[in-house]
Structure 1
Amino acid sequence: MNLNFSNFPTLSARVFECFTLAAALTALPVWAGEASPAGLWKNVDDVSGKPRALIRITESNGVLQGKIEKVFRGPTEDPNPKCDKCEGANKNAPVIGLVILSGLTKDGEEYVDGQILDPDNGKVYRSRVHLIDDGKKLSVRGYIGVPMLGRSQTWLRQE
């Protein structure tokens, strides 16, 4: 009986390649990174359904911040509004460039313990956010005291 082992190294190499490829594909979601709220979002008016602003969310050292990049105004509205009802450093600050979302840190699937500023009334609320619809939408909740006593908006990802 003549045994031929000449294919053994090739077979072993093929098995190793297949194993390596399978391991790489399994780890791909980890390499791709988890979905993040970082990006450009459109805020839509709850009543009219019309766009109100574009907000750029950035993440630095695990903390989210959101800044208004653009406002959508009607023909009779000031195209460069100021936050005249805001207090402190934001008093009369231009709305474009205003940081309205800050201090949010990741807790599981949500970002919590942050603040959101409503430039229309100048009030600051506690906030939490989480991605929905495969990261295409962002649920933004502002509240006083406990999250149950607040309201949510859905922002739409632009990029």
Structure 2
Amino acid sequence: MRNLRTQLLCSLLALPLLATSIAAFAQSSPVGRWKTYDEETGKPRLIVDIYQAKNGAYAAKVVETLFAANATCTSCSGANKDKPIKDMVILWNLKPDGENAFSGGTVLKLSNGKTYKSKAELTDGGEKINVYGCLGFICKHQTWTREH
């Protein structure tokens, strides 16, 4: 009986550790909903969903626009020209590149309709992600916050 109590006690003590390690693992993935912010005003702009695409890379699509209900991409060219921003894929082909780092992607900047090479890095325990758009060696980034 004493051995059973000891095993039960050890199991109960181990549960919080297991839950913590599962939560930490989950936060090392960029998958989930993220809030983006306007570069000039700092106000929330979009809610995007980062998901794992069929090819195993990560992509992101807009699920909600916070600045205008029926916003379209007037600056975009090609297939995205004047298309609704909602449901538009704005990031694709992002692949893991070390711990909490991702590279090799492409990001669409909605304000000018141009695409840039992209990389990203999870920070603050997975609560923020820095998404970089690069032209040559010059990179600019936005910090997105995880939605819960």
TM-score (norm 1): 0.74
The aligned runs of 1:10-159 (5 Å cut-off) are 33-35=25-27, 36-60=29-53, 62-73=56-67, 79-107=69-97, 108-146=99-137, 149-159=138-148
Cα deviation code 1:24-69 (max 9, x no counterpart): 9887777663531111110111221211111111013531110011
CA distance in 2, matches of 1:118, 1:88: 14
Say what the alpha-carbon RMSD is for the aligned residues: 2.4
Aligned residue type for 1:85: S
Structure 2 gaps, min length 5 = none
**Rg bigger for which structure?**
1
Aligned residue type for 2:38: D
The residue that corresponds to 1:5 in the other structure is none
CA distance in 1, matches of 2:12, 2:119: 39
CA distance in 2, matches of 1:30, 1:49: 33
Shift in Å, 1:99: 0.3
Instruction: Look up the SS of the partner of 1:124 in the other structure.
Output: strand
Extract structure 1 runs of 4+ deviating beyond 4 A: 10-32
Cα deviation code 1:105-143 (max 9, x no counterpart): 001431100011011211001111111011111111111
Call closer, same or farther: CA 1:25–1:81 in 2, change over 3 Å. closer
Shift in Å, 1:157: 0.6
Structure 1 gaps, min length 5 = 1-9
User: Size of the alignment, in residue pairs?
Assistant: 144
